[in-house]
Every structure is written in C-alpha cells, then in structure tokens.
Structure 1
Amino acid sequence: MKSRLIIAFFFIGIGFGLAQEIESQGDKYFYAYAYEDAIRAYQKQMQRGESLNNYQRLNLADAYFQTRDYKKAAKIYLDVEKNDSIMSDHRFNKMLQSLDKISEHDKVVTLLQSGDNSFKGELLENAEFNDGAMQADGSGAAEFAILTLNGNSPQADISPAFYPNGLLFSSSRKTRSKKIYGPSGEAYLDIYKAANADSGALTEIEPLSRIPSSKFHKSTPHYSESTGNVYYVLSNTEDDELAFDDRGKNALAIGMVNENGSFRFLLKDLSTSFYYPFYDENTGRLYFSANFKDSYGGTDIYYVDMNGGQVMSEPINLGPRINSPGNEIAPYIFDNSLYFSSDVFYGIGGMDIYRSNIMSDNGFSIPVNLGRDINTINDEFGFIIKENPEGGFMGYFSSNKPGGKGSDDIYGFKISEKPGLRTLLFKGRVVEAPYDQWIADASIKILDAEGNTLKEDSSGTNGGYQLEIPHNSEVTLEVSKPFFSTFSKTYYSEELENLGQSPLKIELTSIADIVKEAEGKMVLDINKFFFATGQSNLTPEITMEIDKVVDAVKKFPNLKFSIETHTDSRGGRSSNQRISEQRSAAIADYLLKNGVSSDNITQVRGFGEDKIVNDCSDGVYCLEFLHQQNLRTLFVVENYDKLSQ
C-alpha cells in the first residue's frame, strides 16, 4: 500500500500544480487522490468513444503509477512524450521510474542520453554514480541491523524524531481526533511521544500535550535540544476550520512551539505546502521540503536562516546536486552529512534514503543510496541517526514495506559505522599560476593504482570541477590542458580521509610563462648563470637556475629540449670547445640525477666560441660585459609547437 504520508501530503502539490481544468469524472477522482476510481472513470470515458486529451492521459498514467501498474504507466508516458511537449521533468522522472521497474533499464539510459530532456548535469552524474554503486551491491558500506518495533499501530506511524528519554512520531491512530482524512481513509495525523525505544518497543505512547489542539494534520515533528522548540507541520486553518486559497487548495504550514506551549507560524502560504522541518543547531538553519514553483520536480529541499525563532531569509533551494525531478523530503543533518529521501528514478523503490556529505563551501557531494539493507521497492523515509552508547550508530526510519503492523511503520536500526558507500570527492578550481585566473576545459582524470581511468571530466567556465568515485586506498589526480603544465599527484589512504572537506585549487602554468625566444629559437626562460673560468663544476648559484629546468619538466612531462653551452672567444678554440662540452655534460648529469628523464633531453652539445653573438671574436678587444654576452647556456625547446597545441 502506498505510504499514507505521501498520498496525503506530497501529491497535493502535483495535483494542483499540474492541474488543467477539471473536465470529467476521471479528473475529479484523480485530483481527489482516488486513483483506482480515476482509472475506472477514464476507462469508461474511452469506452463511450470520448478520447482523453494528453493532460488526462498523463493523469491516467499517474494513476497507474500510484497503483503500481508500471507497465501501463510507462506505455502512456512514452506515447505522450513522443507526440507532445507537455511532459514536465517530474513526470519524466515517473516515466523513467516506471521503465526501470519493468526492467527496461537500457531504455532509461537511452532516454537520459537523448538530450531531449532538460535534466541538469548533476542529476545525470548522480544517476551514473548510484547505478554503478547498486551494481557493486554497496561494496565497502557497513550493514544495517533492522529492528522491528512493538508499539506500531494498524494505522500510519511515521516520521520519528529524537526527544528527551524517547521519541516523537506522527500517527493516524484515533486517540484524540475522530475526523477522517478523505484520501487516506484514516484519522488526521497527530504527534505522539513514546518512551525510550532502544529496547525495540514503543511504550508509554501518548499525544504530545504541548502541541496546540487541532482537528486536522499535525505531523513530522523535530525537537531541537539547543532551543527546546518543537517544529512541526500542520494544516492551514481559520476559526478551527481548513483554510483554502482562491483555487480551493488547502496547503500545509510549518509551526514552532516552545517549552511553555507558546505557538508561532514560521512558514505559511495557502498556495504552498511545507513538509518535514529540521533545525540545524550548528548553522541556525531550518531545513524543510516544499512544492514551490521553482522546484526541480515535485517537492524540493530548502532552508531558511533563523534567529531567535524568527525566519531571517528567503527560502534557499539546495540545488540540483540534491533536488531532482522527483520528490525530495525529510532532511536530517548528522556528522556533517545530509540524509534525506527521494523517489528519483535511479533508486531501488519509491522513496529511498540517501546520504550526501556537506562541503565547506556549503556544496554537497553526490547523494549515495544507502542500499538494499535499508531501502526496499517500497517507501523508506524519515531517517534519523545518532551515536549508539554501545558503539557505532543507531536510529529510526519509516517504511510501508510488507510485514509491518500498519500502512506505515517505524523501524529501528543499528550500524557499526557511518552508513552508506564511502566515497572520494575531488572538488575545487583550476587556475593559471601565478595570476589565479580560471582555466576552463581542462582535462581532469582520476586514476587507480594501476593507471586505469576511474573517472574523467573537464573544468567548467569558472574553472570549477567536482568528481566523486567510490573509495579507493590509492588514486592519482591528473589535470592537463594544451599550452599548460600538467598536474599529477597520487593520494594515499591517510590523505584521502580528509579529501573533499575543502576545495582543492589546482595551479597550471602556461607554456608561454616559462619559454622565451632567443637567437631565433624557443628556449626555457631562466636567469643567466656563469661558470668559473676554465671550470665545469656546478656551483649553488648555477644549480639554483638548473632546478628551474627540473621544475619545468615536472610541469610539462612531455617537454623535450637540447642543452647548448657557449663560451666567449678568450682562450684557445679547442679548449673552449672542450670546456663547453664538459659544462653541457655536467648540466645533463645533474638533471638526470634530479628526476629528469633521458627522454626529455634530445641533445647535449657544446659549441665553444663558434656562435659568438656580437663582434667579440678572436683578437678583438671587448669590455667584460660584452664577453659575458657570449658566455651562455640555452635549453632549447624542441617540441614547442606540440606543447602549445
């Protein structure tokens, strides 16, 4: 059975957000969430010879989807997508879900790669990563021990929240209210507290008395230890009756009640529903889900800044790394990770639980599906977690999987380490040194210990990059671009532990900054140095300059150059020839001993006084500075044209 919470709350936004005018009995049933009745009514309409327009056909596809007839849903979605442009990204997600559930994964991949959809690059990367992780069956992730809790009712029990000495949760059990919520056939949701459930039982269950009384929904509580406030969702009412906007929509608001029972609305809009509040004590942000018009699909996760119980900012969307064309709900932050649920097409079931690491720049890593230990083909949501006093971690979540006592039940879990597949994240910018200017279209590769490419991408227009892979004990990051140096660094286990916590700036050097033209050739741009008269030994002043050649080769591993040493005309011609050759050989020997490969050095030559650059030839009197113009060593770049392509 579909989760009562999802029927009652999350498709309100879809029904009204996508609704055309109600034209038939099928439409009426559909927008009242009576999906089986809607299917029968639409079928009767077609049997009378009255065709369905494409909006109604999509309603019918949605109704099949909600009743889990994915084959029929997929057929209609595909047909409408082929012949009309009215398919929203949210319904495109449902189409992909339907295809995946009937084992048409290849068709899902084809549709994603077709370019006909408007999906963001982050979503496609998320899908590829999680698809690979699912095929690897969660390798490297700790296993969940799932606990069935006594105390669940035959009705819906959902959204657990930690509370002093116990739990808060939502339930449609009939303790305080006899009113029935039409779409679910059960009582409106109310908030309850239970004694400590660590033993595997929900005991001493009673309504949370500090919540103001209402005949309608009160649900999805979150308790803040630092403020003592309870944040929760409630139906918009006026004079104790439901309040509707000018289109007849009743939405859900977020309220807050303090320890003294004083209530305040935080987020309220008759045309927008808000769900699943979570107050992050470290940042003072209130996270929640909402069906704003600017969402990426159905419900997205947002936050607002809070100060003293007051909302201080506009809602901020968490962006396409987290939000998808599906529904994202139930944000929960623990140990610098965001946990939430999503019904995005690449999941295992309906709602799956994911984890994303929070970056220092407020960005997020790829959300990782927590795997088949906890996620099923049904709906899992409302995940909370804390440290277990006995070691490891423990927490709770809700699911409507078979075998429970009611339509949705609360389950406990224990796990030995932080849940989810361990990943490595490389994130930052590629810039040109020393100017700190962004470099776009740089090639970025992550290689394994054997040199195989694990993942590759290019830097964006602002030099930004982000690549994430499953955890490895050794990886190499390579960054390159024509006309620029190559960055290559190998990271081992210890360094990898802190990887991704802060942006990694990669500096590349332009070949133009280390090369100049001299004597009609392209040579490495280093300071001039001098040997002692008649000597070929390398002084510290000389090696300091030659080390710049070593650095150039590190930056440009494919650099090929010849070494050319020249003398002045003083002394004998044969001795000048010999000492120039000795000096070039000494330089080459030093380079080879300091990491330069023999493949980089094409020739080692001494020209003696054969190539004087001024008039100071044999027998001509010249000042010292003129003779020094002829004392020189050139590192001639032989493949400059290839390096600059």
Structure 2
Amino acid sequence: MKKFYIIIACLVISVASAQSKLKRAEKLYKQYSFTEAAKLYDEALAEKENPGADILKMAGDSHYNVGQKKEALKYYQMLYDIQGSTLSNDYFIKYTESVKATLDYAKADKVTKEYLAAKNDNAVMAKYALQKKQMDSLAKEKPLYTVKQLDVNSSKSDFGTAFYGQKIVFASAKDTTKYNEKLYNWNQQPFLDLYVAERNVNDGTLLNVQPFLPNAMTKYHDATAAFSPDLKTVYYTRNIVKDNKKLVNDKTGTNQFKIVRGALSEDGKLGKLEDMQFNNNAYSTGHPAVSNDGKWLFFASDMPGGQGGSDIYVAEVDPAGTVGPAKNLGPMINTAGEEMFPSFNNGVLYFASDGHFGWGGLDVYESKMTGDWNFSEPRNLGAPINSNKDDFAYIVDTEDKYGYFSSNREMGKGDDDIYFFTKVKPPCDELVSGKVTNAKSKLAIAGATVSVTDLMDTAITSATTDGNGDYVVTVPCGKTYKIAATKANHSREEKQLEIGKKNGNQTKDVNFELTNYDDLITKKGDVEKITVNPIYFEYNKWNITDLAAVELDKVVFAMTKFPHLKIKIESHTDSRGKDAYNLKLSDSRAKSTRDYIISKGIDASRIDSAIGYGESRLTNRCKNGVKCTEAEHLANRRSDFIVIDK
C-alpha cells in the first residue's frame, strides 16, 4: 500500500511538472520566444499523454517558426491524426511542409491528395495537379542555374539582397556586439541591420561590407531594402517604433513591421523617413520591391482581407512619388499559406511561397504579368534555387543572367545565408503534334515512329504513336526540320516543317498517312505480286493505253512508297494466234510496261527483267485447239509484277 501511494504521488508530481512547463511554454510562445518555447514544449510533452490540439499547434509552431521543421513534424503529425481533413488549410500546409523537410515527398503527395479529395474542391485539385506535373517535368530538365554560397555569410541570419547600383544592400544579424543588448525573442539572435557591400562583377562575391545608413538604424529590426531606379529613394522594413527607440504594439501586445521610405542624397545620407499609407499598427507590411520603371511598389503583408497568411500586394507610385492604395494580387499568386519577398523584373514577378506545390519550405516562383495585373500560373524555379528548406528573396539583373537569393538550406554557414547564382538562357522549344493513320482504311496506326532530323539528316528527336495514333515531339526553336513517320511493313512518309521562335508554342495536325505493304500486294504461296487489275493493250499493239497507265501507276506508287522494292515483269498472252507471234508480242508489251515505269522516275536497276512468255505459261486448260470462253482466255492475258526483293 505504501508503494502504491508513493507511485501515485510521483504521478501527481510528474503531471504537475508537465502542466507547469506547458504554462511557461505557452507564455514564451505568446511572447514570440519560440526557441525557448520549443525546448519547454518538448520537455512537457514527453511527460504528457494525449495533448490537445491547441497545445500541439503551439508546440509545432515553436519549432516551425525557427526553421526546425523536422522537429515540428512530430506535433503536426499528431494534430493531423486527430483532425484529418478538418485540419485548417494553414496548418495542413505546415504539416506537409514539415513532411517535405524529411524528403518524404511521396507521403506529402499522398496526404495532399487525400486532404484535397475530402475537401472536394475541384479547382484546387486541378491547380495542385498542374503544379505537380510542372514540378515533375522540371525535375527531369537540365538546371538553368549555377549556385554558390558567399563568404560574406555569418553564423547568424544574412538575407534579403537588393541591387544598389554596382553594390548590394542586405540584412544581417551579424553584429555580435548586440549580444550585450536585448536579443530578438523569436530566434535569440541580435536584431537585423542593413549592410552595404561592393560586388565583384566577375564572380558575384561581396566585399568591403559596411553598415548601411548606420545613423538611421533603430535598436530593433531594419531589413529588406529596395531602391528607386535613380537610387534617390530607399524603401525598407522596420519594426513599428516610436522615436527610433520604443516598440509600438497593437491591442494584443504584438509589435508589427512597416515599410518606411526616405530620400537618399548623393553622399548617401538619408532624409526624413515617411510611412506608407497602407501601414497599420494592427498588421505587418514589409519586403518592399520596386519595378524597373519605378512606377510600382510590391510588398508583402498579412493585412485583413487576404488569401491566407502573408500575401503579395502592389501599389502605384505616381511621377510625384505618391504611393497609392494597396492591391492584393489575388488567388493566382496568393494562397492560404505564406507569400513574401517579391521582386519584379521585366514583366516577371518573383516571390517566395509555401502555399504553392514545391520542394518544401518557402520556394521561389516566377509568374509573368499578362496585363491589367493578371498573372500566369506560378512556375517553380526548381533546383538548385529551391530546396526542401526555405528559399526566398530572389533578385536577378535586368538581363536575366545573374542574381542573388537567400536560403537556410542544409550545409549553410549559419541561419539564413546569401547565395549568388548565374543563369543560362532557357532552351526555346516548340511542340509538334499530329496523327498517323493507314492510307487505305484511315484507321489510327499505333506504334509508328515519328523521327525528326535537321536538313543535314542529323537526328534531333523521335516519338512513338499511342493507341490513337497520336504523337508529340519537342524540337528546338527557329529551325527547319524533316519529320518522318515509319513503321515496319509500312511506307515512310516525310514532311519539311519550319519552326518558329516562341517557347512552348505548338504546331498541330502534322499528320501522316502510311501505306501498309500488305494493302498493295497479292500473295500466292511464296510469291508476292503487286496488285493490279488486268492491263489492256489494243489488238496487235504494245503501246500503253490510258487504261493501262492507271494500273501501271499502281506499280509506280508501290515502288515509290517502298524504295527498296525490286521486281521482275512477266507478260503473258492467251493461246489464240501463233506461238511465235504471241511470244514476240508479249515480250514487246513487257518491255513497254518497263519503259513506262522507268519514265515515271523509278530507277531501271530496280526492275530485274521484263520478259514476255507468250502462251507458254497458261493458267488454265485453254491451250491451242481448246474451245474456251472469253473470260477463260482473259485469265491468261496478264502482266505480273513479281517482287524479288524488299
């Protein structure tokens, strides 16, 4: 009995300890002290069975928000096991992103399909299928990018580059002297400051790093800068503060971020800062980016009325510099997840998202503006730009040849790191499609080979027709090709096609009709003959009549369609008339048919012989002196085109 009470007492103490840790962890969580909260949640939940959904969310988020997605997965998995398809969209995204952090893409795909099917949202399922197909295709393509990490990175967060003339401005928590000051609760690192570095134009390395606008920096976050095209105006993100010293919190006690703007003098000094009209103490705005022409300001915000977490917005900047109201870029760009770190270059929007289908974490996407702020389906940039970690803050030069991005991927130097990339021109490819059918029956031919060569007969690509006779081939832009369709025992058909210079364009209905060898041949035992109707000659003549030409053209057609075909010609008469005369007449007719075939472009070497046999090879009883019908005599008057090689 005493042991029993001891056990009960220990259990009570253990439960009380777990509850105490959970309370402390929740308090830290609400203070955005996620690093410390994560440790306490791990300790508390190791002692507590069957935690509730809210506790699991906070435990998972504590790890997730500091980039520990593998650790967050344990809690999100428990949450998904409890809530299944009723799990909210934002937490389902966190769950699948954590699964991808373990590189288990098959599981992420499986649970996503199950979740979307249960939601019965056809539009979302179609978008997921489209983006997955694009990703699967992208994985097979040769990467356009070469990436390298930079020595400028520290053991802390370094990210968010911006072009500043020939220099680069970026954000960093590298100032370790600030460890004597208050640290950022979220990740227990010093607050971010802006830095400027010279850029080596040959290899992209960053040199001579100095604080940027040191007199304008606050004690808190100052990060992610953008510049007007003339470099006379800077936009950047900072905590909402009063007098550059004191944080200004919203009604819940949360401090938000805002975008500020100031004029830059020629000597690099910053004028008076002004807030953007869309800033608000109740939500955050940040990650500004200015279009090439300076007319548009892009940014990220979690303001009310968006698609989900953080969305991409745009505001017009008029010639006087006035910034207009914010416009959400809509559901083509924004999702229930997080979209942030936009940049806009030559009509293409680049942004980071965890809501579109990707490799895991934030991935970088591109979307072309198609007019009136409509955008194309976002396209994942693929590896090596994207990984299963957070990849973001992509910028590229105006010629689309080089740039920078940020990532917290494995093997990095610290937390977030800056990477330099070079980019080769994407290949320009067009599609050619069509159908292959039987020339006689018009039915589809499956298993035919469609091959493409250049004008010098160098092989480019090939495809095999499907069960419907359809094919699609991809060819490089801007050239003229020979496209041929073939199949065993069929003719070879060829067309010449000039391809344009628009990547992704498709030339349709390049169709082929193949002739089946068996449709042209009559077989009797081992002997094969080109099928023709009886060839009629005028009495006592051997010149080719119009009716004879129709039949002989069938021979020419067969020999044209099958260029390796060789024949011998045998001409025969019936038994009426003298034997010697019939022998001479049939031989003249044989040679006349040979000459006609040759005159139509068939090489003489393909006709082995043309011999008349008179009445010496009758096919029936109608020899000399035997009375026969006209039909029986007609059966003996014949010309045979016998195949000797194919």
TM-score normalized with structure 1 length: 0.58
Contact 2:145 2:421 in 1 (8 A): yes
Does residue 254 of structure 2 align to residue 231 of structure 1? no
Does residue 249 of structure 2 align to residue 250 of structure 1? no
Does residue 117 of structure 2 align to residue 107 of structure 1? no
Greater mean alpha carbon deviation, residues 46-55 or residues 160-169: 46-55
Give the match for residue 55 of structure 2.
Answer: 56
Contact 2:291 2:345 in 1 (8 A): no
Give the match for residue 209 of structure 2.
Answer: 205
Q: Distance in 1 between matches of 2:464 and 2:27?
A: 61
Amino acid at match of 1:72: K
Q: Distance in 2 between matches of 1:423 and 1:264?
A: 49
Shift of 1:29: 2.7
Shift of 1:193: 0.7
Give the match for residue 165 of structure 2.
Answer: 164
Give the match for residue 287 of structure 2.
Answer: 276
Q: C-alpha offsets along residues 455-485 of structure 1, whole Å, 9 cap, x if unaligned?
A: xxxxxxxxxxxxxx998879xxxxxxxxxxx
Contact 2:33 2:185 in 1 (8 A): no
Q: Distance in 1 between matches of 2:190 and 2:37?
A: 23
Give the match for residue 325 of structure 1.
Answer: 336
Give the match for residue 30 of structure 1.
Answer: 29
Does residue 405 of structure 2 align to residue 397 of structure 1? yes
Give the match for residue 407 of structure 1.
Answer: 415
Q: Distance in 1 between matches of 2:50 and 2:465?
A: 61
Q: C-alpha offsets along residues 408-460 of structure 1, whole Å, 9 cap, x if unaligned?
A: 221111111259x9899xxxxxxxxxxxxxxxxxxxxxxx996999xxxxxxx
Does residue 167 of structure 2 align to residue 155 of structure 1? no
Give the match for residue 642 of structure 2.
Answer: none
Q: Distance in 2 between matches of 1:295 and 1:452?
A: 47
Q: C-alpha offsets along residues 322-363 of structure 1, whole Å, 9 cap, x if unaligned?
A: 112221111111122111111226211211111111112321
Does residue 154 of structure 2 align to residue 146 of structure 1? no
Contact 1:257 1:264 in 2 (8 A): yes
Contact 1:192 1:205 in 2 (8 A): yes
SS for the counterpart of 1:181 is coil
Q: 1:109 to 1:362 in 2, by over 3 A?
A: same
Amino acid at match of 1:144: Y
Larger radius of gyration: 2
Does residue 100 of structure 2 align to residue 90 of structure 1? no
SS for the counterpart of 1:105 is helix
Q: Distance in 1 between matches of 2:328 and 2:466?
A: 39
Q: Distance in 2 between matches of 1:286 and 1:264?
A: 15
SS for the counterpart of 2:303 is coil
Q: 1:352 to 1:396 in 2, by over 3 A?
A: same
Q: C-alpha offsets along residues 571-604 of structure 1, whole Å, 9 cap, x if unaligned?
A: xxxxxxxxxxxxxxxxxxxxxxxxxxxxxxxxxx
Give the match for residue 568 of structure 1.
Answer: none
Shift of 1:49: 6.3
Contact 1:147 1:200 in 2 (8 A): no
Does residue 298 of structure 2 align to residue 287 of structure 1? yes
Shift of 1:285: 1.8
Contact 2:259 2:286 in 1 (8 A): yes
Shift of 1:25: 2.3
Q: Distance in 2 between matches of 1:499 and 1:329?
A: 31
Counting only pairs closer than 5 Å after superposition, residues 295-444 of structure 1 correspond to structure 2 as 295-307=306-318, 308-313=320-325, 315-344=326-355, 346-387=357-398, 393-417=401-425
Q: 1:312 to 1:43 in 2, by over 3 A?
A: closer
Q: 1:108 to 1:141 in 2, by over 3 A?
A: same
Q: 1:278 to 1:471 in 2, by over 3 A?
A: farther
Q: 1:316 to 1:170 in 2, by over 3 A?
A: same
Bigger RCO of structures 1 and 2 (CA < 8 A, at least 6 apart): 1
Counting only pairs closer than 5 Å after superposition, residues 245-644 of structure 1 correspond to structure 2 as 245-260=250-265, 261-262=270-271, 263-266=273-276, 267-282=278-293, 284-307=295-318, 308-313=320-325, 315-344=326-355, 346-387=357-398, 393-417=401-425, 493-494=499-500, 496-497=502-503
Q: Distance in 1 between matches of 2:300 and 2:63?
A: 25
Contact 1:152 1:202 in 2 (8 A): no
Shift of 1:175: 7.6
Contact 1:235 1:242 in 2 (8 A): yes
Q: Distance in 2 between matches of 1:45 and 1:409?
A: 33
Q: 1:125 to 1:393 in 2, by over 3 A?
A: farther
Shift of 1:166: 1.0
Q: C-alpha offsets along residues 386-409 of structure 1, whole Å, 9 cap, x if unaligned?
A: 146xxx601011112233332222
Contact 1:423 1:471 in 2 (8 A): yes
Give the match for residue 183 of structure 1.
Answer: 186
Amino acid at match of 1:81: Q
Q: Distance in 1 between matches of 2:410 and 2:252?
A: 37
SS for the counterpart of 2:393 is strand
Shift of 1:274: 1.2
SS for the counterpart of 2:376 is coil
Contact 2:312 2:342 in 1 (8 A): yes
Shift of 1:44: 5.8
Q: 1:211 to 1:89 in 2, by over 3 A?
A: farther
Q: 1:225 to 1:25 in 2, by over 3 A?
A: same
Contact 1:329 1:341 in 2 (8 A): yes
Greater mean alpha carbon deviation, residues 244-253 or residues 69-78: 69-78
Amino acid at match of 2:23: S
Q: Distance in 1 between matches of 2:363 and 2:303?
A: 22
Amino acid at match of 2:247: L
Shift of 1:249: 0.8
Q: C-alpha offsets along residues 511-568 of structure 1, whole Å, 9 cap, x if unaligned?
A: xxxxxxxxxxxxxxxxxxxxxxxxxxxxxxxxxxxxxxxxxxxxxxxxxxxxxxxxxx
Q: Distance in 2 between matches of 1:423 and 1:244?
A: 55
Shift of 1:153: 2.2
Amino acid at match of 2:208: E
Amino acid at match of 1:218: D
Contact 1:398 1:411 in 2 (8 A): yes
Question: How many residues are aligned here?
Answer: 416
Shift of 1:57: 2.5
Shift of 1:311: 2.4
Q: 1:156 to 1:99 in 2, by over 3 A?
A: closer
Q: Distance in 2 between matches of 1:149 and 1:40?
A: 32
Q: Distance in 2 between matches of 1:493 and 1:112?
A: 43
Q: Distance in 2 between matches of 1:74 and 1:218?
A: 32
Does residue 224 of structure 2 align to residue 220 of structure 1? yes
Contact 1:218 1:233 in 2 (8 A): yes
Contact 1:289 1:330 in 2 (8 A): yes
Give the match for residue 133 of structure 1.
Answer: 134
Q: 1:292 to 1:408 in 2, by over 3 A?
A: same
SS for the counterpart of 2:119 is coil
Shift of 1:136: 2.6
Give the match for residue 241 of structure 1.
Answer: 246
SS for the counterpart of 1:358 is strand
SS for the counterpart of 2:317 is strand
Greater mean alpha carbon deviation, residues 211-220 or residues 67-76: 67-76
SS for the counterpart of 1:410 is strand
Q: 1:193 to 1:40 in 2, by over 3 A?
A: closer
Q: 1:258 to 1:56 in 2, by over 3 A?
A: same
Q: 1:61 to 1:334 in 2, by over 3 A?
A: same
